[in-house]
Amino acid sequence: MSSKPFFEWADGLPLSTWIRDSSVLFPLVEVVHILALTVLLGSIVLLSMRLMGAGLKQLPVKKLATTLAPFTNWALVTMLLSGALLFGSEALKCYENPPFFFKMTMLALALIFHFTVMRPALNADAGRVRAAATAMGALLLWFAVAVGGRAIGFY
């Protein structure tokens, strides 16, 4: 079963056409998307560094996670919504773009990892090795999402 009809549907939506045909909307949505990704990666880096014991040692992991949670959550929701808008405006281009599928795979893995491994590790006293492995996994997955996104424009 081909996914091309879904991509054609998304590409043909009035909102997708409006963003694609505007000289202002696409760049504006892209700036919001990149800003959200930056905030998300910043919070993930801070939490990961703390889990690895490489910074902010005066703050307990749970307190840092609670402090950063609004930024992480806002950034994640904003990134997903703006990403959906960007996708719709270039859906047919994305259909034939291997970096797009790499990014979507990494995004799915990063989200699953974030909610099933990272969040529980932030709310529990995980052992030092487990905490460091969790931190490295989060960094690897989220930076793979960013690299995949950047690669989309070069294909």
Q: How many domains does the chain have?
A: 1
- pLDDT of residue 125 exceeding 80, the answer is no
User: Helix 25-51 vs helix 14-21: angle between axes, to the nearest 10 degrees?
Assistant: 100
For the stretch 36-80, pLDDT in tens is 999 999 999 999 999 888 878 888 888 999 999 999 999 999 999
Domain that holds residue 97: 4-152
Confidence (pTM): 0.89
- Check if the beta carbon of residue 34 is closer than 8 Å to that of residue 78: no
For the stretch 2-46, pLDDT in tens is 899 999 999 999 999 999 999 999 999 999 999 999 999 999 999
The one-letter amino acid at 94: C
- The conformation of residue 60, written as its DSSP 8-state character, comes to -
